[in-house]
Structure 1
């Protein structure tokens, strides 16, 4: 099979005749056949990495991505961006929609082993927001603060990538609460616990602040292609 094979979510579902599986983890999903998993693993991304990271299994239609939902609505939601920045701001939902909007289609990878193919998200690049607040010279990390005290952390260099978004829509529909409504982070190239749901604030810091799962034994760097699932 050619390394540049393009495999869409629709093609996989048609070819695989997948099986509905419940694994006792958040969500019920459609699992693809072993042959299709191998085909996907042979497909290479433009950056040279396998489309399916090691230890992952492609799935369809995640119903619940886990966690404890926040209570904010689109009317009440506010997001504070603060810390080591020159111009801290607070954005309402409407103000977020007034910023430049982008849509991307990407695969997302859960540390529990599932990969959702060709998920489509719409929102604002985090880099656009960072440009507005102007991180200071010694700023090195971004801390996502979410409902009920949940946090996640990424280096500023990873946060300021074109595919890192603050999103409000999933598959062209407004986010459902189970998926992080009204707004969540999206960092496709890290395990999905870095993509905090029910986002309430973004703090820019000079020092790293490991988040909820990182303090509980999960990897601080969370690179799926290196299988950085747990701290060492």
Structure 2
């Protein structure tokens, strides 16, 4: 194994011999499990960023904007919604991929069914601690593997991984998966997020290597 340092912190890279089977394997949709320019890692040690200060006891999330029924959810209320467990590969724009990562939480679609987005609300803005934001089209957010996660690898999220609650959007580079989530806003116009407004791709498709603008 090789320890590497990137923008998101330290991680342990799989050896070349272990990389090859994953590089050759395909997802059910026919795309490679390892997108172009990515390498698999064993374990993420520190994902970086400025952590929020909320705890499970005082965390709440505001859902607002272009919706019929705005609401605020506490941590306990989130746990009382339908829970899902997903196993997915996540891809960082800096080049690492964590295969078969395990997350538990609530599908964003479940939240959307409750607040009923207006027809004009074509975009979602994730608002997180310290002013961090990320943005996706509402069509991305409706996918079944997009969740608001409170647990990782069978345990409650650690602070470094976005506790108490973070977004997980497996089919986009991981800067779209905002940590330390505070609010979800539905908007009629797209609003480029923290990294998107600093030159990172707005669409962030790993299989098209949409990392930075040409």
Give the corresponding residue for 1:23: 5
Pairing 1:134–2:116 present: yes
Work out whether residues 173 and 206 of structure 2, in 8 Å CA contact, stay in contact via their aligned partners in 1. yes
TM-score (structure 2 length as normaliser)? 0.98
Unaligned runs of 5+ in 1: 1-18
CA distance in 2: counterparts of 1:112 and 1:40, whole angstroms: 18
Q: What is the CA-CA distance between 1:33 and the residue it aligns to? A: 1.8
Residue by residue over 1:72-118, the C-alpha shift from the partner in whole angstroms, topping out at 9 and shown as x without a partner, is 00011010000000000000000000000000011100000000011
Root-mean-square deviation (CA, aligned residues, Å) is 0.9
8 A contact 1:107–1:119 mirrored in 2: yes
The 3-state SS of whatever aligns with 2:170 is coil
Instruction: Give the alignment's TM-score, normalised by structure 1.
Output: 0.90
| Secondary structure at 2:12 match in 1 | strand
What count of residue pairs does the alignment treat as equivalent?
Answer: 214
Is 1:178–2:172 an aligned residue pair?
no
* Structure 1 residue 222 displacement after superposition: 0.1
- Deviation >3 Å, runs of 4+: none
Query: 1:67 matched to which residue of 2?
Result: 49
1:146 maps to 2:128: yes
Match of 2:59 among 77, 86, 90: 77
Larger Rg: 1
Gapped regions of structure 2 (runs ≥ 5): none
Is 2:97 aligned against 1:107? no
Q: Does 2:169 match 1:187?
A: yes
